[in-house]
Structure formats: structure tokens, C-alpha cells
Chain A
């Protein structure tokens, strides 16, 4: 079965600093990978996705992520963090579950705090 590990439960960065959130996955085949962001009291918003092709993918709000098959990782990056980026970030892997279906398995999330 697939799994996702986000090693950092909570990260604090200063506004304007760079950011990298780690994500490692376990899946036997080519994964479909996603990053979502959840602001307090809100639903999840899709930041970016990787299905195939270029391993560096660009998303919304200035985020990017790099798929590294050899490391089973899909880390999320942003060169300069804004105070509005404070939220919880979830990495997810989409995998086939049989019977023509696929489902998302989420990591536990990384909470990002931003110091003004």
C-alpha cells in the first residue's frame, strides 16, 4: 500500500526567507503526486501536481516542487515566503486501488508559521 511521510510537523520561517517542505512517498509504480494547502478553517487547495514529464513542476502562489524518483521525494519549495503563506501543507500520492479507481493518500501535514 502507498504511504506518504512528511517528516516536519511544524516549521517556522521569517518572511522573505526561502522554504522547503519535505515529502517522501512509498509506492510501487509511477506515482501521481500532489501538494495541497489548508488555511485555518478552510478546505484544501491544490498547489501543484506531478503526473509525468518534467520533474520540476510549477504551481500557484509561487510554489514549485521537484520529483526525485531515486529519493522517492517530492519536496515543495518557495524562494521567498510571504506572511499569507502561513498554513498547513499536505503532500499526497495518488495510486490505483483496483477496480478502475485511484485514491489519494495524504501525509500528516506540515504546519508553516511565518515570522514577520
Chain B
């Protein structure tokens, strides 16, 4: 158990809908990262937050957005869903540093999203 929790574990929804994925980082971790894992694209970094502020963006679509709340939990919002958005979505957390220095990331169990 990494200490990172994600809900829900599975999500099935229809095209055009909007969903919210939730992540609680390990106690004391300030950085939260979101990743998408699909068979064709592999593991892709989406976005990072550090202590409530967006820190880095990766291959995140404009239909996707995220935020990190004062209690440090994070939510990933996916809207206007398409069949191709079906994937595993992982959240990871790390201690993080104001300078953005390296640190190991601990991954949650993921949310499996199926868009029908």
C-alpha cells in the first residue's frame, strides 16, 4: 500500500459526459501528479500540482482539468468524453520541494475509466 488513495476504482460512462476522479496523496506529500495509461500511448504524464498550484503540464487535453485543494487532495475533471479517453488514470504523490527537486513518486491504485 503506497498510501495514495484514488476513487472511484472503476467508472463507466457514456460519450459526451463529464467525470471527476479523486486522489488523496500520502500524508505529508505536497506534490500530486496525474498520469494516463493506455495500451497505445503507454504511461503519459498529464499534470502536476504542488501545494495547491499548478506546476507542470504534460500531454493533457483541453477537455481535461485538475485542481489541488487546501487539504492537498486533488481532482481530475474529464469532460466531453470520447471513446479514446478510456484508460487507467493514476495519481502519484511525492514530498516535493519548492525548487521542484527530484523525489520518488508513489502511485495510487488507479481509476479505470471506460467510455461507451
Contact surface of A with B, Cβ cutoff 8 Å: 32, 34, 36, 42-46, 49, 51, 90, 94, 96-109
B102 touches A105 (CB 8 A): no
B107 touches A43 (CB 8 A): yes
Q: Secondary structure of the A side of the interface?
A: strand
Which of B4, B56, B90 is packed against the most chain A CB atoms within 10 Å? B56
B99 touches A100 (CB 8 A): yes
B108 touches A90 (CB 8 A): no
> How many Å lie between the Cα of A35 and that of B102 in the bound state?
15
A45 touches B2 (CB 8 A): yes
The reply on B105 being an interface residue by CB < 8 A is yes
Chain B, interface size category, equals 20 to 34
Stretch in B41-49, B66-74, B75-83 with 4+ CB within 8 Å of A: B41-49
Q: Of A32, A44, A90, which contacts B102 at CB under 8 A?
A: A32
> How many Å lie between the Cα of A41 and that of B88 in the bound state?
10
B99 touches A42 (CB 8 A): no
B104 touches A46 (CB 8 A): yes
Q: Nearest Cβ in chain B — how far from A49, in angstroms?
A: 6
A99 touches B109 (CB 8 A): no
B32-48 CB contact bits vs A (8 Å, 1 = yes)? 01000000001101001
> How many Å lie between the Cα of A102 and that of B97 in the bound state?
10
B104 touches A49 (CB 8 A): yes
Q: Which 5 A-B pairs have the closest CB atoms?
A: A100-B100, A101-B56, A106-B43, A43-B107, A44-B107
Which of A34, A99, A104 is packed against the most chain B CB atoms within 10 Å? A104
Chain B residues within 8 Å of A32, by CB: 102
